[in-house]
Amino acid sequence: MGPLEAGQFRKIDEAFKKGDLEALRVAVGDPTLVPNGRLPDGIGWCLVYAIYHSPLAFIRELLEAGADPNLSTDDGFPPLIAALICSRAERRATKRSDVDDIVRLLLSFGADPNQRGINDYTALHMAVGERDALAVYRLLAAGADPDLRTRIDDCETPHEIAQAAGLTTIASILERKGQPLRRRLRSGLTLLEDIPGAGDEVRRQHTYRIRVCLWLNGGDLVRDATNDVRVDRGSLVNGLFYGLDGMRVGGTRRLEIAPHLAYGDRGVPGVIPAGALLVAEITILEGRS
C-alpha cells in the first residue's frame, strides 16, 4: 500500500486504539488488507500494530478473523516478539500490563515459539532479554526449544543469556526446560512453578487483585477469573490460602492441590467432580488494601 493520504493515518490509528474493525476497514480503504495485508508506512502489519496499540479483545477479534500469528515481518518483530517488548516503554509500542494475556492468546492460536526475529532471536531469547520469567515459562510450555542458538553475534542460547545476566530464576526455569519443580509445601500441596513478584509480600487479611486459573488433573480448564480477593480462609480454598504464603505482588505460582485442600468429596456440581485433584495458577496482580 502506498503513502498515506492526509488524515488517513489518524483515522487508522484511532480505529486500532478503539478496537473498531469496521472503522479500520473503512479507514484503510481496501478491506482485503485486514487482517493480513501490509498497511501504509507508519502502521505496517495489522496484527502487530494491534499488539502495540489495541485492546486485547481486538487482538483476539483479528485472530478470529484469520490474522496470521506467525506473520513474517520485515523489521524483525513478528507477533510474539512484538508482544514481548510491550512490557516497557518503547518507541514503536504502547507499554502494556497485559503482555502475558497477549502471549497466551497468540500461543493459543498457534504462534510458533521458535520463530526468529530481530538479532536472530527466538521468542524465548527475547523473553530472557526482557527479563520476563513468566513468558519464558509460557513459551517452554508451548514447545519453545531452549537449546536454539542465535546464528549471529555471540550465538547464544537463551540459558546462556540468562546466566550471563545473572537472571537466576529464569536460568533455573530454562535448566529444567519448563519441567515442574514438584516441591512439596505441605501434605496435599505441591509447588509446580514459582515466579517471584517484585512487589510487597502478600499479607493475610488484606485484599489483592488476583487471577486464578484452575484445571482438572486431566487438563480441562474449569476456571479463569480475576477478582479482588481477601486473603483468608473464607475467600480461598485451603490449597490456595496456604499456597499464597511467601508470594509477592506481581508473582505467579502454579500448584497441585489434593482434594482435601480443594473441594473435597463434594466438588462443585457440574464444574469440579468429587475428589478432584486440581492444578491451580495464581497471579497477584496488585494490592487493594
Which sequence spans correspond to the domains of the chain?
Answer: 8-175, 183-287
Class of domain 183-287: alpha beta
Strands 252-257 and 189-195: antiparallel
Class of domain 8-175: mainly alpha
- CA dist., res. 272 & res. 277, Å (int): 9
DSSP conformational letter for 33: G
Could you read off the pLDDT tens digit of each residue along the chain, which spans 289 residues? Answer: 455 565 889 999 999 999 999 999 999 989 999 999 899 888 999 999 999 999 999 999 999 999 999 999 989 999 999 999 999 888 888 899 999 999 999 999 999 999 999 999 999 999 999 999 999 999 999 999 999 999 998 899 999 999 999 999 999 999 999 899 999 999 999 999 999 999 999 999 999 999 999 999 888 999 999 999 999 999 999 999 999 999 999 999 999 999 999 999 999 999 999 999 999 999 999 998 7
Task: Tell me which amino acid residue 7 is.
Answer: G
List, in sequence order, every beta strand (DSSP E) within the chain.
183-186, 189-195, 207-216, 221-230, 252-257, 278-287
**Cell numbers placing 213:** 486459573
